[in-house]
Structure 1
Amino acid sequence: MNLPRTMHAMVTIGHGGFEKLSYETDWPVPTPAKGDVLIEVKACGLNNTDINTRIGWYSKAVTTATDSDTTEEPDGDDPAWGGSPISFPRIQGADVCGIIVAVGEGVSEARIGERIIADDWLRDEDDPKDINRTGYFGSERDGGFAQYTTMPSRNALRVDSTLTDAELATFSCSYSTAEGMLTRASVTSTDTILIPGASGGVGGALVQLAKRRGARVVAMASEAKHEDVRKLGADVLLPRAPSDLRAALGSERITVIADVVGGPHWPTLLDVLERGGRYTCSGAIAGPIVELDLRTLYLRDLSFFGSTVIDQSVMPALIRYIEAGEVRPALAATYPLRELQQAQEAFLAKQHTGNIVVVP
C-alpha cells in the first residue's frame, strides 16, 4: 500500500481556549517505531479528557467546572491527567477506530488490514501493572484527531463487529472508564446504583454496563433526555438536580453511586447512600471542589473509590461485550475533523445525549 507522506490533523499547540487548536493539512504521517502499528483513522471519539487536557483543567490551580469561562491558569506543574506536563504540539484524541496499514519492527505483517479500536492506556512493557508508569493515548503520545496515527501493537485491539466506524469509536474511553468504575466498586446484581449525569458518554455507558451486571439503575439527567436514557436500560429516571433527592428516590435504597459530575450538589449524593455504601468517581465536570462532612464518611461506613487507570482485563472484556452485542453504542453526533471546535462546543453545551465522534 502506497501511503501518503502528509495528512490532515488537528494539532493542539498549548493549554488554553479554542485558539490552541490548529487544523493542519500537511502534517507528517507518523512512522511506526519498533513494536508499533500505523493506523488509518476512520473515526475518533471526543471525551472530557480532550477538553480537560487542552484547557489545563487537571491542574489543582483550576477549580471551576469544565464548561465554565474562567481566568484561572494551570500552574505549569500538573496540568495533565498524570500530574506531569505534556509536550506540545500534541495531536489529541484517544478513541480511535481504524485499520492497521503498516507495522513497525517486531510486529507481524499479518496484522495489516485488521480493524481495531484503541486500548488507551499506555502501560510500561516491563511492568504493566505499575500505574505510576502509565500514560494515555492522545496525551503522552499523539492520538487520533488525524488521518493516521501510531500506537503500540498491544494497544490496537482487533474487533469483529457490524457496527460502523463511528459507532465503534464511542467505546474505548467512555465504556472502559465506566467498566473500570463498576469494577472498583464491585457492583453486582444485589446493588442499586445511582448515576448522576446519565445522559453523557460515561453516564450512558454506566447505565448499560451496570444493567449488564444485573444491578438496578437510578439515572439522573435533564428531563429532556429521559427517554434517551430510558432506552439505555435505566429503571428509574430522576431530574438532573432534584431539590430533595431523598424524597425523589422514594423507597429506593442506594448502595452505590457512580459519579463523573461532582459540583455543588455533591453532598446531597452522599446523604442518600446507604450505610456501608460505595462511592466511585472518575470525573468532576460540574466542579472538582466539593464539601465533605467527614462524619458522613466514617459514621456511615462509606467506601470511596477513585478510578482512573483501569485494570488490564477491562478492554479485552469490553471487546467481548461489543462482539456479543451485550452493549450498544450511544452515538449522538458526528463532525468532520476540521470542525473539532464545533464538536467540542456542542459537547460542552451538552447538546447531545451520548458520545460525539469526529471523522477525518
Structure 2
Amino acid sequence: MTLPTTMTAVLLTGHGGPEKLEYRTDVSVPSPRADEVLIQVEAAGINNTDINTRIGWYSKAVTGDTNSTATGSAGSADEDDASWSGVPLTFPRIQGGDVYGKVVAVGHGVDAARLGDRVIVRNLMRHYVDRRPFECWTYGSDCDGGFAQFAVAPSSEAYTVESELSPVELGAISIAYSTAEGMLHRSRLKAEKVVITGASGGVGLAAVQLAKLRGAEVIAICSPSKADVVREAGADQVIDRGKDLLEALGARSVDVVVDVVGGDGVSGLLALLRRGGRYAIAGAIGGPLAEVDLRTIYLNDLSLFGCTFQEDEVFENLVRYINQGRIRPLVSRTYPLSDIHRAQEDFISKKFAGKLVLVPPAVES
C-alpha cells in the first residue's frame, strides 16, 4: 500500500483532565527505525494506565484512588515522578498500550517477510533497555503508542497472532491479559484456591480465565451487577465486593490472592492467606496506600509480589493461548478514536464489565 504522510491520532499534551487529549488529523506518520516495524492500527484498548498516566496518578504526591484523582478531588501530581518509571514524561505523547494491527513497513534489519503480519504489541518492552532485568519501556508512555492510525514498535515486541478473534477483541488483550498472566506467573499459581479482586474489569476477567486454565478454584470479588459476567468467565464463586471477606471465607482459607484494587482492603486480603500463601498486586484503583499488620506477613510466612516487570515467557504464553483459541476477552463497547473523551469517562465510571476499545478511522488507500 502507499502510506500517507499524515494520520489521525490523539495527542496527550500534558497531565490533567480529558481536555489534555487532542484529536488531530495532521500528525506525521512515524517511520520505523532499525529493528522496528510500522503497524496500521485496527483497534486499541483502554486501560487504567492510560487514565493514571494522563492524570499523573503514579506520582507519590497523589494519595487518592484513580477516580477521585481523575475528578480533581485527591490532590495534584508532581510532574517530576508522574510516570511508571519515575522519569518525567515528554509531551505531546500518543498513548495507547494495547495495539492490534497489520505490519505495513519495516525498518533496517527487519525481514520484509513481516509485511502483512497481524500483530499485538507487548506493552512492557525490553528492546529499548537492552533487556536489563526489571527494566522496561511502557508502550504509550515512555514512547508513542496506539491511539492513532499508525504506530511503530520494535519487531521483537510485535508478536504475530493467528486467531479467529475479531480485531477489537485482539486489541483488548495485551495489557489486561499480560498483567494477569504476569501475576499468576509470579505467584506460581497452580490448581489451588485463589481470590481475585476487581474481577469484572479487564485485568480481573483475564485473571479469572487464566487461573481456570491452570486448574485453580477461583473466588472472584466484584459488584453484584456484574456477577453473572464473572461467573460466565469461569469463576467458581462470586462475592459482593462490599462483603466482609474474612466472614465470608474465613481466615487462612486460600492459597493465593490476585489484587488489582489495593487500598483499605489489603489487610483483610492478607488475612485470608494460608501459611506460606502468596499475594500478588499489579494495581491500586482503590488507592495506593494501605495499612497492614506486619505480623500477619511474617508469622504466616507470606510472600508478597509487586507485579510490573514480566519475564519473556509471560507474553509468549499469552500469544500461545490466543493462537490456540483458549482465551476470549469481553469487549463491552467500542468507540471511534474521535470519541476518546467519552470512552475514558465510561471507563472511569466502571459502568461496563471487561474492556472498552477505540477504533481509529480507516486509512484511505
Deviating runs (4+, > 4 A) in structure 1? none
The answer to whether the 8 A contact 1:124-1:130 is kept is no
User: Per-residue deviation at 1:126?
Assistant: 7.4
* Partner SS, residue 38 of structure 1: strand
Identify the residue that residue 80 of structure 1 maps to in structure 2: 83
Instruction: Specify the alignment match of 1:115 in structure 2.
Output: 118
Q: Equivalent residue of 2:255, what SS? A: strand
Unaligned runs of 5+ in 1: none
Which residue of structure 2 lines up, in the alignment, with residue 245 of structure 1? 245
Residue number in structure 2 paired with 1:144: 146
CA distance in 2: counterparts of 1:271 and 1:241, whole angstroms = 17
Task: Tell me if structure 2 keeps the 8 A contact 1:117–1:158.
Answer: yes
- Structure 2 CA distance, aligned partners of 1:343 and 1:286? 21
Measured in 2, the distance between the counterparts of 1:83 and 1:250 equals: 39
8 Å CA contact 2:251, 2:272 repeated in 1? no
Letter in 1 for 2:104: V
1:265-344 equivalences under 5 Å are: 265-344=265-344
- Taking the TM superposition and a 5 Å limit, the aligned residue runs for 1:203-218 are 203-218=204-219
Task: Tell whether the 8 Å contact from 2:37 to 2:155 is kept in structure 1 after alignment.
Answer: yes
> Aligned residue for 1:106?
109
Q: Which amino acid aligns with 2:91?
A: F
1:192-213: per-residue Cα shift (whole Å, max 9, x none)? 0001110000000010001101
CA 1:238–1:328: 2 relative to 1, 3 Å:
same
- CA contact 1:94–1:138 (8 Å) conserved in 2: yes
Number of aligned pairs? 357
Normalising by structure 2, we get a TM-score of 0.95
Give the secondary-structure state (helix, strand or coil) at the position aligned to 1:131: coil
Q: Percent identity?
A: 51
Alignment TM-score, normalising by the size of structure 1? 0.96
Match of 1:164 in 2: 166
2:92 is equivalent to residue 89 of structure 1: yes
User: 2:84 and 2:200 mapped to 1: Cα distance?
Assistant: 23
Summarize the Cα distance change of 1:159–1:206 in structure 2 as closer, same or farther, 3 Å threshold: same
**Would the aligned equivalents of 2:252 and 2:271 in 1 still touch at CA under 8 Å?**
no
Could you tell me how far 1:25 is from its partner in structure 2? 1.0
> Could you tell me whether the CA contact under 8 Å between 2:128 and 2:137 is conserved in 1?
no
The yes-or-no answer on 1:226 pairing with 2:223 is no
Contact conserved, 2:193 with 2:255, CA < 8 A, in 1? yes
Q: Distance in 2 between matches of 1:125 and 1:91?
A: 17
State the alpha-carbon separation in 1 of the partners of residues 300 and 251 from structure 2: 19
Query: RMSD of aligned C-alpha atoms?
Result: 1.4
Structure 2 CA distance for partners of 1:125 and 1:287, relative to 1, 3 Å = closer
Deviation at 1:341, TM superposition (A): 1.0
Q: Distance in 1 between matches of 2:152 and 2:49?
A: 19
Checking the alignment, whether the CA contact within 8 Å between 1:321 and 1:327 is kept in structure 2 is yes
Give the Cα–Cα distance (whole angstroms) in 1 for the partners of residues 129 and 238 of structure 2. Answer: 46
| 1:292–1:353 CA distance, 2 compared to 1 (3 A) | same
